[in-house]
């Protein structure tokens, strides 16, 4: 299996549950407050490691307790953190999460996540990456550094995967360097102006938009409606799995982590999406982000219980 290299954000998640999202200038009572390690980069790295991939983290934390705890947590989950930097002057990134039923609102302070520069990423990739390794990024770190890093990784022969979240206008040269673009329906509409859930023709137009710009494969996740992509020039949909939802915070990151692990194992796209859907569903059955990421055998058992025939390599 190839390595999974994640360049992304590392945040401390401060999460609280409430009956409803407060209105402007309103204070309401909350409950079930907890602090957990998070950030899309960290979450996706843990998800990949839990699924059995050799996972390496590139990122930056601050010189504070949050940063030390984040790195320690990643290491406990099996993620290599030798290339995580520590900023002397910027605090560790934080995320404030309000949870209400199956809804959530998140505010992020990027902090040290913005301090990772392209020269560092390039030097690191030259030292540890091999052709065929998977390079996974998001958009919570410095934008220009992220774009340059993806283009460079693609030139090295790595399998480039981007979770374009939070959505931002992307340059055409990036699209042409992406093997996989994974976005949800809201991010899709932000990037191309098309709501993919409006009707089947809209889904096709959205997927074509990215294909025409050079993306290898675009996967649009649709929450409880599953996910969709193009296979043999036809829209291919993978349904979601029915579970009792506790917290949706890390679901998308669990999906990405499982997806790139499947790519590292050179499994077909359609199969990778099924496995990723199962991992995403299982992540919603527990509170928090990284601690909710399902393990390899948990996903195997869940798929078997749901009648999915997947060929696994132990």
133 is catalytic: no
**Which three-class secondary structure state does DSSP give residue 182?**
strand
**Domains present along the chain, CATH in parentheses:** 4-19+33-301 (3.40.1190.20)
- 134-137 and 159-163 strand pairing: parallel
HSE-CB of 19 using CA atoms within 13 angstroms: 3
Q: How far apart are CA 63 and CA 84, in angstroms?
A: 12
**Set 142, 253, 301, 314: catalytic member:** 253
For each of the chain's 314 residues, which pLDDT tens digit applies? 899 999 999 999 898 999 998 999 999 999 999 888 999 999 999 999 999 999 999 999 999 999 999 999 999 999 999 999 999 999 999 989 898 887 888 888 999 999 999 999 999 999 999 999 999 999 999 999 999 999 999 999 999 999 999 999 999 999 999 999 999 999 999 999 999 999 999 999 999 999 999 999 999 999 889 999 999 999 999 999 999 988 887 899 999 999 999 999 999 999 999 999 999 999 999 987 898 999 999 999 999 998 877 665 55
Sheet holding 4-7, edge to edge: 84-86, 55-61, 4-7, 134-137, 159-163, 180-184, 217-221, 227-231, 234-238
CA dihedral 279, 283, 289, 290 (to 10 degrees): -50
In eight-state DSSP terms, residue 91 is P
CA angle 261, 264, 270 (to 5 degrees): 70
């Amino acid at each position: 299996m190839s390595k999974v290299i994640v360049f992304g954000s590392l945040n401390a998640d401060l999460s609280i549950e409430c009956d409803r999202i407060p209105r402007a200038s309103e204070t309401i009572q909350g409950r079930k407050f907890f602090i957990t390690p998070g950030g899309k980069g960290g979450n996706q790295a843990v998800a990949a490691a839990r699924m059995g991939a050799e996972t390496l983290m590139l990122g930056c934390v601050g010189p504070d307790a949050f940063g030390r705890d984040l790195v320690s947590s990643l290491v406990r989950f099996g993620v290599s953190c030798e290339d995580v930097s520590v900023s002397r002057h910027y605090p560790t990134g934080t995320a404030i999460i309000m949870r209400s039923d199956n809804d959530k609102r998140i505010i992020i302070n990027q902090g040290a996540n913005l301090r990772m520069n392209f020269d560092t990423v390039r030097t690191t990739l030259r030292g540890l990456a091999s052709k065929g390794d998977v390079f996974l990024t998001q958009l919570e770190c410095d934008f220009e550094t992220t774009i340059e890093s993806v283009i460079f990784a693609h030139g090295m022969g790595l399998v480039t995967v981007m979770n374009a979240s939070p959505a931002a206008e992307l340059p055409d040269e990036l699209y042409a360097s992406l093997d996989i673009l994974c976005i949800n329906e809201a991010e899709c509409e932000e990037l191309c102006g098309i709501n993919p859930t409006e009707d089947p023709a809209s889904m096709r137009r959205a997927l074509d938009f990215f294909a025409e710009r050079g993306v290898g494969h675009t996967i649009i996740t649709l929450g409880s409606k599953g996910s969709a992509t193009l296979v043999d020039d036809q829209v291919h949909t993978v349904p979601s799995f029915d579970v009792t939802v506790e917290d949706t915070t890390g679901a998308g990151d669990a999906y990405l982590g499982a997806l790139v692990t499947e790519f590292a194992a050179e499994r077909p796209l359609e199969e990778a999406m099924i496995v990723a859907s199962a991992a995403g569903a299982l992540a919603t059955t527990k509170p928090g982000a990284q601690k909710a990421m399902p393990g390899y055998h948990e996903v195997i058992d869940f798929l078997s219980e749901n009648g999915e025939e997947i060929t696994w390599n132990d």
